[in-house]
Structure 1
Amino acid sequence: MKFKLSAFADEISQDLDVQLNTLKRFNIDYIEARCIENVPLIEYSTESIKEFKKKLDYNGIKLSSLASPIGKISINGDLKTHYEKFKRTVEIAEILSAPYIRIFSFFIDKDFVPGDFKNKVIDELNKYVEYIKNCDVVLLHENEKHIFGDTAERCLYIFANIKSNKLKAVFDPANFIQCNEKELYKVYSKLKPHIEYFHIKDALLFEGKVVPAGQGDGEILPIVEDAYKSNFDGFLSIEPHLNHSLPGGGEKNFEIAYKALKDILTAVERER
């Protein structure tokens, strides 16, 4: 298998030992780190981050990405303070040897038109890209509900106006479904030149409910199949939103999400 598997293990448990033991049980060598004990990783002290890194190393787990909340702020918010938070995030990513930092493109306040803020969004994202130009890290823009880049059209606008190998796309099928995007394979095809990472979660188009991969309208099987045929060898990160799609979270429900993805990968490899 050419793909590398990772996971949002904080959906299994907020206990780090439980997270790591579960990843090892399923032979997943990477973690997309977001929270420990319900506290975002980027809010921990440098000393705590170094201890976290030691624990990862001891357990043979590496970071696939630092799942930061950077960009999850109103475009009309305190962007100066948020930029300082971004710089701290980069510092943490470097301590953890994270190849990627997940970011967003700012919430658009209710009753405002996203297009009215396109220049401001690009200006802010350009600051981030410029800051990391000499760092060993790449920013991954995630399509997320209610931010500027929540639709394929506006994601494409971002990449058309920030032409840098320091900004790539996370492709999240469920998030697009929840923004009423249809025909996800076509959406994927448009964004394919910019995609460097996948979040694996699915959703039902008319309900918006998150479901295990392959059980919704995200067209994950043909998308993963095309990525495979295109020699994509990056990360598929399991983000099943367990407490929503499989209430209660936990190891058993993570196994359901994991097996759903493995079924898709088995089908893809069978067709090669």
Structure 2
Amino acid sequence: MFKKAVFTDEVSQDLEVVLKVAEDYNLDGIEIRSLWDKPPQDLVDEVPRLKEGLKGTGLKVCSVASPFFKCDIDSEDEYKEHLDILRRCIKLAQALDCSIIRGFTFWRKGRGAEDYWQRILDKFEEPVKILEQEGMTLGIENEASTMIGTGKVLAEFLKALDHPNVKAIWDPA
């Protein structure tokens, strides 16, 4: 059965407000995209504060909504930076008993996946190793502004990648 959660920053940057709204609407959890005006990769030092806020609410962190691979596929510097973002988001997720990191497939260029298919697959080799080593799952969101912009292309990508630590996050919008 589906569980219901909300993106933190779609409610507030204040954790207390987010948790109150989640409880008022009988949600099961929250997905951390940003809090206290910090992206998830910069929240590792806030874990004690996050745990204290969550304590006693019954709410869980269902996913860390990272900006992983919302970057230029042709920039080696951005690629390295995003591997670091993934590592820091994994650290945050693990500290919060969460096993899912939301990620993407690079900013769209040209005809997207059609033009960059093998390069996208190649760029996922290192992240897949990290995910496997850490026992984490990367949920790839199909977003029109990225190389994998539709559910159909995402299904094809996941089949080609063929790795149990990389799954789909369906965004129908």
The answer to whether TM tops 0.5 is yes
SS at match of 1:14: coil
Q: Distance in 2 between matches of 1:99 and 1:26?
A: 24
* Contact 1:148-1:154 at 8 Å conserved across structures: no
Length-normalised TM-score, structure 2: 0.89
Which residue of structure 2 lines up, in the alignment, with residue 100 of structure 1? 100
Match of residue 159 from structure 2: 160
**Correspondence for 1:129:** 128
When Rg is computed on C-alpha atoms for both structures, the one with the higher figure is 1
Q: Secondary structure at the match of 1:68?
A: strand
Q: Which residue of 2 aligns with 1:235?
A: none
Q: How many residues align?
A: 170
Aligned: 1:170 with 2:149: no
**What is the distance in 1 between the residues matched to 2:12 and 2:90?**
25
Runs of 5+ unmatched residues, structure 1: 175-272
Question: TM (normalized to structure 1)?
Answer: 0.59
How far apart are residue 166 of structure 1 and its match?
0.5
Report sequence identity in percent. 29
In structure 2, C-alpha distance between the alignment counterparts of 1:105 and 1:29, rounded to whole Å: 28
2:162, 2:148 → 1: CA distance?
16
Paired with 1:133 and 1:146, the residues of 2 have a C-alpha distance of 27
Map of 2:87 onto structure 1: 87
Residues 124 and 18 (structure 1 numbering): CA distance in 2 closer, same or farther, change over 3 Å?
same
Alpha-carbon offset, residue 43 of structure 1: 1.3
Matched, 1:63 2:61: yes
Q: Runs of 5+ in structure 2 lacking a partner?
A: none
**Offset at residue 11 of structure 1 (A):** 1.0
Q: CA deviation at 1:42?
A: 1.6
- Alignment map for 1:175-254 (pairs within 5 Å): none
Whether the aligned pair in 1 keeps the contact of 2:7 and 2:31 (CA below 8 Å) is yes
Superposition CA RMSD, Å = 1.6
1:150 maps to: 149
Asked whether the equivalents of residues 16 and 53 of structure 2 are also in contact (C-alpha less than 8 Å), the reply is no
